Structure 1
């Protein structure tokens, strides 16, 4: 009989569901730390936790019993996911449980900030009737910018639409047609919306791409009087920049529920005029806590009874035979996803993956998942993995189609990726040389052989003499060494495409200089994993 340990306080509805679950036993042991926690985890098949317990590498080391951990909530920062993966432990969360509560809190902060509710209440508490002091702003007819159009972002959008707001959104993996059907005008870059919006709310993970999204440079572009809300992750807004924006009057207000370091009781924003702050209350409703508890129990019992995996935030252990036979091509698929994202950074509407030769007879589902991870991970960070990547694409209205052909073509095995935005498309074909050398062998119909690793410069040009020399001169002047070069053309003197592997990161000025060469029509920098490196879930 599978056994479950409950490590943190859980809503009564969750415990009642455990009581009613047939063929499953459970115990509640809260407040465990150190060796007590480590020993307890080795007694049970599954665990449910919230944010209180810390599942660190030392308490997971050597575990041979535990098969799965479910976090009753979204954030899994208290669980060391690489350590869990190494131990073969599936980590799941409950992303849907707090969607409505978090969306409602974002709307509540927006309204409270717009109508000066906290400050007006405080003035009454202190015995003053400052009615004229707290002139507010209505939200109807105003434009709300939403960065991140996943579950919570879309829930905010539907509520803002009911408040008669105009909606502008950014999500690199939502199609324009799907956004339009939801009443959202999609933009290609966050900075495109900044001069137009009256309010901005963010609903993304904290990644290298989103950290400091609103900084001093962004405030120069933002519409005067814009009000900012953050119920997602601390650090997406640069707090020092927010202070400057409020002091200068460029910002009309700031409302925060999250902070770079939590718990947070000291911030320069606390007490400033036109600022509303709450202590990470987005999911703090009775309904949300009940829902995540119930969802956690349902996820864990389903996994322990049937092996069904949903909402995993780490990669489930791969079958050793599958891993051994496809390891190199999993790496190829992941790198093609990264390359597709770099060449088509926004507005992806559909992806078609075609497997040829010996790949057609294998487990292509894992290859498709690896491609989807590569496509999404730059924007979504650790939130995307082999388990959830395809569903995240579908969630954003992106069509993902796969097909297989036993015909080998030029290689024993290869995969082709066709990515379309509706207005433009790219086709990439990759294969594996030897056991561990991923190669790009075709791009947009041009055959070549390029290394799929490190820093690449992908450029299109007229097939005329002197192109490579001109590019080499620019890079040499900027101290960038060319490591490898591949050029493809379909006919002499026609259009051609080139891929350069370079040893160093070219500056923006260097790329602009390359684009300025007369025969060059486009040039883009692509950053792929270094040769020989694989993601943690594959290592």
Structure 2
């Protein structure tokens, strides 16, 4: 009989559902840490947690009994997913349970800013009646910018429409047509949004791309008097820049529910006029906690009783034999997705995948899912894996088409991906050398052979004598070591593309020197995972 440990406080509705779950026993043990937590987990088949407990690698190492952990909430940062995968533990989350509560809190913060709710109440507490001091602004007729159109971003947009606001949106994985159906004017970049918004709210994960998404330069571009809200992840806004914007009068207000480091009791914004901050209350409603608890119990019960896996963040929904036989091409598909996302940095509205040769007769749907996971990785608030990546694309109106061809071409098996969007359609092809060596074998119309890993420089150039040597010389002068080089060309004296695998990110000066060469038309650095480094759902 499967047994479950509940590691954090769970709503009574969730516990009642565990009581009623057939064939499952459970115990509630909260506040566990260190060796006590490690030993307890080894006594159960499943675990349910929230954010209060940290399941680190040393806690999970050597656990041969635990089969699944469910996080009653969206984020799984407190669970070492690599360690869980290595131990054969499925990690699941509850992505939909707190959507409405978080969206409502973002709207509440926006309204609190607009009507000076917090300082007005404080004035009454202090015995003052200052009606004139707290003149506010109505939101009807104003423009709200929403960065990130996932579940929560769309819920915020829907509620803003109910407040008679105009809604602008930015999400590289949402088509203008799909956004239009939802009453959202989709813009090509955040920069295009800034001069037009009266309010700005963000609903994205914290990544290298979104860290300090709004800083000094962006505040210079933003519409005077704008108010900014963040109920997503701390660090998306640069707090020092927000404080400076408030002091200068460029910003009318800032509302935060999240901070780079939590708990947070010290911020340059605390105490400033025009600021309304809360201690990460986005999902702190009775309804949200009930919903995530019930969903967590349902997920874990289904897995322990039937083996069904839903909302997993570290394993695919395929049987182990299929996964092992496709592992090399799953790695290629994932890396081509990462590459395509960087080669097509603007909006994406279509993807076409062509499988050729022996691979065309295999489970290509899982390969397509691996490509989709690579394409959207880092752009979504939700964890991306083989289970949900393709769905995320389709929900944003992005077409993804498969084609299978039995003829082998130049290789026994290969796959080609085409990604269309705001710029020209880009096409890249890859294959596997040996059992597990991913290779890039063409870019657009240029055939070549390059390692599909690590730091890579892609440069387009005229096919003239000496250009490769000049690039190598410039990199040598700046201490950049070249590990491998590949060149594809249209014909002697025509256009060509070069790919360098280099040992690390080149200095900005080196890259600018390469771009300054007369024969070079473009040069881009793209970083892919190191050779042999697999995402958790594949490793």
TM-score range, shorter-chain basis? over 0.9
TM superposition shift of 1:350: 1.8
Range 420-429 or range 290-299, more displaced: 420-429
Change (3 A) 1:237 1:455: same
Distance in structure 2 (CA, Å) of the matches to 1:61 and 1:113:
47
Q: TM-score, normalised by structure 2?
A: 0.92
1:374 aligns with 374
TM superposition shift of 1:232: 0.6
Equivalent residues in 2 for 1:47-196, closer than 5 Å: 47-196=47-196
Range 389-398 or range 407-416, more displaced: 389-398
Change (3 A) 1:59 1:492: closer
Per the alignment, in what secondary structure is the counterpart of residue 348 of structure 2?
coil
Distance in structure 2 (CA, Å) of the matches to 1:509 and 1:279:
42
1:391 aligns with 391
Give yes or no for contact 1:460–1:497 (8 Å, CA) kept in 2: yes
Q: Does structure 1 residue 438 correspond to structure 2 residue 438? A: yes
Give yes or no for contact 1:85–1:317 (8 Å, CA) kept in 2: no
Distance in structure 1 (CA, Å) of the matches to 2:464 and 2:240:
51
Q: Does structure 1 residue 15 correspond to structure 2 residue 51? A: no
Q: Deviations along 1:110-157, whole A, 9 cap, x unmatched? A: 010011011011111211110000111122222222111110011111
TM superposition shift of 1:343: 0.5
Change (3 A) 1:52 1:477: closer
1:313 aligns with 313
Q: Does structure 1 residue 428 correspond to structure 2 residue 407? A: no
Q: TM-score, normalised by structure 1?
A: 0.92
TM superposition shift of 1:428: 0.9
Q: Deviations along 1:208-253, whole A, 9 cap, x unmatched? A: 2212222223222222222110101111112222222222222211
Structure 1 residue runs of 5 or longer lacking an equivalent are: none
Distance in structure 2 (CA, Å) of the matches to 1:176 and 1:227:
25
Give yes or no for contact 2:195–2:222 (8 Å, CA) kept in 1: yes
Distance in structure 2 (CA, Å) of the matches to 1:350 and 1:306:
36
Q: Does structure 1 residue 342 correspond to structure 2 residue 342? A: yes
Q: Deviations along 1:488-510, whole A, 9 cap, x unmatched? A: 23444444333233344344555
TM superposition shift of 1:321: 4.1
Range 256-265 or range 468-477, more displaced: 468-477
TM superposition shift of 1:284: 1.2
Range 42-51 or range 475-484, more displaced: 475-484
Q: Deviations along 1:452-511, whole A, 9 cap, x unmatched? A: 222222233444445434544554554444443322234444443332333443445554
TM superposition shift of 1:106: 0.2
Per the alignment, in what secondary structure is the counterpart of residue 525 of structure 1?
strand
Change (3 A) 1:93 1:508: same
Distance in structure 2 (CA, Å) of the matches to 1:176 and 1:457:
31
Structure 2 residue runs of 5 or longer lacking an equivalent are: none
Q: Deviations along 1:352-403, whole A, 9 cap, x unmatched? A: 2222222223333442232222212243488223333222222322222223
1:357 aligns with 357
Give yes or no for contact 1:89–1:316 (8 Å, CA) kept in 2: no
Per the alignment, in what secondary structure is the counterpart of residue 459 of structure 1?
strand
Change (3 A) 1:228 1:372: same
1:402 aligns with 402
TM superposition shift of 1:275: 0.4
Per the alignment, in what secondary structure is the counterpart of residue 314 of structure 1?
coil
Per the alignment, in what secondary structure is the counterpart of residue 101 of structure 1?
helix
Change (3 A) 1:420 1:266: same
Q: Deviations along 1:35-68, whole A, 9 cap, x unmatched? A: 4433332232222222223323333222222211
Distance in structure 1 (CA, Å) of the matches to 2:94 and 2:4:
17
TM superposition shift of 1:268: 2.6
Aligned residues: 539
Q: Deviations along 1:50-93, whole A, 9 cap, x unmatched? A: 22233233332222222111111112233222222221111111
2:263 aligns with 263
Distance in structure 2 (CA, Å) of the matches to 1:381 and 1:82:
19
Per the alignment, in what secondary structure is the counterpart of residue 210 of structure 1?
coil
Give yes or no for contact 1:432–1:438 (8 Å, CA) kept in 2: yes
Distance in structure 2 (CA, Å) of the matches to 1:184 and 1:318:
36
Per the alignment, in what secondary structure is the counterpart of residue 136 of structure 1?
coil
1:216 aligns with 216
TM superposition shift of 1:415: 1.0
Distance in structure 2 (CA, Å) of the matches to 1:292 and 1:322:
32
Give yes or no for contact 2:123–2:130 (8 Å, CA) kept in 1: yes
Distance in structure 2 (CA, Å) of the matches to 1:473 and 1:163:
60
Distance in structure 2 (CA, Å) of the matches to 1:83 and 1:318:
20
